[in-house]
């Protein structure tokens, strides 16, 4: 099954938040170095979305708990036969470093960004359709017309406060994704259901489909079971579930 499109579905709120943060960090990383003003706008929008996420929950504490959970889980397998101790030690060190970096931050992540008058002005208008036009935000319009080097310097300074969170997010999702191998399974009549082990609750479901399959999955479920329906895109109307048997790759990430 080559050239797969991977679809992911989180099975708890913590992984859901990490996936959203990863998506926003990738958007910022793509747009921030580009000189076009529309890319600077996209990078700012990504920053504002992250700030919004950070105001809804104590993300710093949640991520530290997740780092510590991974450290404890890995520490318990030190004596297991066949363990690559060098690799294990390297991962544990990464977890320790990322935990320490987050603990060293004063207060909540993004506090200075939330108190930034320039960013706050943009955020207040962002909830209005088209609300960040030049006539709404002349200061923003002025900033967007500055040389790219100046805009990039500002973006990097603002983003610097989020870097410890970005690094921790990347590490946690890498460990989660790499904890299990994919298996090839079949969905009869376009539907697949699976019950999860209660002793080892899954964190993330990953579904791989060939690009040329003409299908996409709709995944629903929680920590006990999940269902996957394979749908056929429609140009007009709602996608319909295929009646064909579908072979796909499935990874249940339990770490």
Residue 114 lies in a domain: yes
Q: Is the pLDDT of residue 176 over 60?
A: yes
Instruction: State whether 238 and 124 are in the same domain.
Output: no
Q: Which of 178, 203, 233 marks a domain boundary? A: 178
Q: Which of 35-39, 171-175, 200-204, 205-209 has the lowest mean pLDDT?
A: 200-204
Residue 4 lies in a domain: no
Q: Is the pLDDT of residue 79 over 80?
A: no
C-alpha 199/C-alpha 227 separation (Å) is 20
CB–CB of 243/189 below 8 Å? yes
Strands 204-210, 240-241: pairing is unpaired
Q: Which of 114, 146, 178 marks a domain boundary? A: 178
Name the region of 55 (left: φ>0; alpha: ψ -120 to 50; beta: rest).
alpha
How far is the CA of 192 from the CAs of 12, 70, 176, 184, 241, in angstroms?
20, 30, 22, 12, 12
Instruction: State whether 145 and 105 are in the same domain.
Output: yes
Q: Domain total for the chain?
A: 2
Residue 100 lies in a domain: yes
Mean pLDDT, residues 215-234: 92
Tell me the backbone φ, ψ of residue 58, rounded to 5 degrees: -85, 75
Instruction: State whether 124 and 159 are in the same domain.
Output: yes
Instruction: State whether 205 and 163 are in the same domain.
Output: no
Instruction: State whether 159 and 220 are in the same domain.
Output: no
Q: What is the pLDDT of residues 36-74, one digit of tens each?
A: 999 999 999 999 999 999 998 899 999 999 999 999 988
Instruction: State whether 215 and 246 are in the same domain.
Output: yes
Residue 217 lies in a domain: yes
Output the average pLDDT for the chain.
Answer: 93
Instruction: State whether 27 and 95 are in the same domain.
Output: yes
Q: Which of 147, 178, 209 marks a domain boundary? A: 178
The CATH number of whichever domain residue 192 belongs to comes to 2.60.440.10
Residue 122 lies in a domain: yes
Q: What is the pLDDT of residues 123-163, one digit of tens each?
A: 999 888 888 899 999 999 999 999 999 999 999 999 999 99
What's the chain's Rg over C-alpha atoms?
22
pLDDT band at 232 (very low <50, low <70, confident <90, very high): very high
Q: What is the pLDDT of residue 2?
A: 60
The CATH number of whichever domain residue 89 belongs to comes to 1.10.3900.10
Query: Which residues form the domain of 220?
Result: 183-253
Instruction: State whether 32 and 157 are in the same domain.
Output: yes
């Amino acid at each position: 099954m080559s050239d797969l499109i991977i679809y992911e579905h989180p099975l708890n709120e913590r992984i859901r938040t990490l996936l959203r943060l990863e998506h926003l960090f990738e958007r910022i990383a793509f747009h921030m170095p580009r000189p076009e003003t529309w890319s600077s706008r996209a990078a700012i929008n990504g920053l504002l979305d992250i700030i919004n996420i950070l105001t809804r929950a104590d993300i710093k504490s949640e991520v530290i708990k997740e780092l510590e959970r991974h450290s404890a889980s890995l520490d318990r397998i030190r004596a297991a036969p066949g363990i690559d101790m060098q690799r294990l030690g390297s991962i544990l060190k990464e977890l320790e470093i990322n935990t320490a970096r987050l603990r060293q931050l004063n207060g909540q992540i993004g506090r200075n960004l939330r108190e930034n008058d320039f960013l706050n002005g943009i955020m207040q208008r962002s909830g209005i359709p088209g609300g960040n036009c030049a006539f709404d935000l002349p200061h923003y319009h002025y900033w967007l017309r500055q040389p790219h080097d100046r805009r990039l310097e500002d973006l990097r300074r603002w983003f610097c406060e989020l870097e410890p969170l970005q690094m921790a997010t990347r590490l946690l999702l890498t460990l989660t994704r790499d904890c299990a191998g994919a298996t090839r399974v079949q969905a009869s009549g376009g539907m697949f259901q699976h019950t999860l082990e209660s002793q080892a609750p899954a964190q993330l479901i990953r579904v791989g489909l060939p690009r040329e399959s003409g299908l996409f999955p709709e995944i629903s479920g929680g920590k006990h079971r999940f269902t996957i329906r394979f749908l056929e895109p429609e140009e007009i109307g709602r996608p319909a579930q295929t009646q064909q048997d579908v072979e796909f790759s499935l990874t249940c990430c339990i770490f």
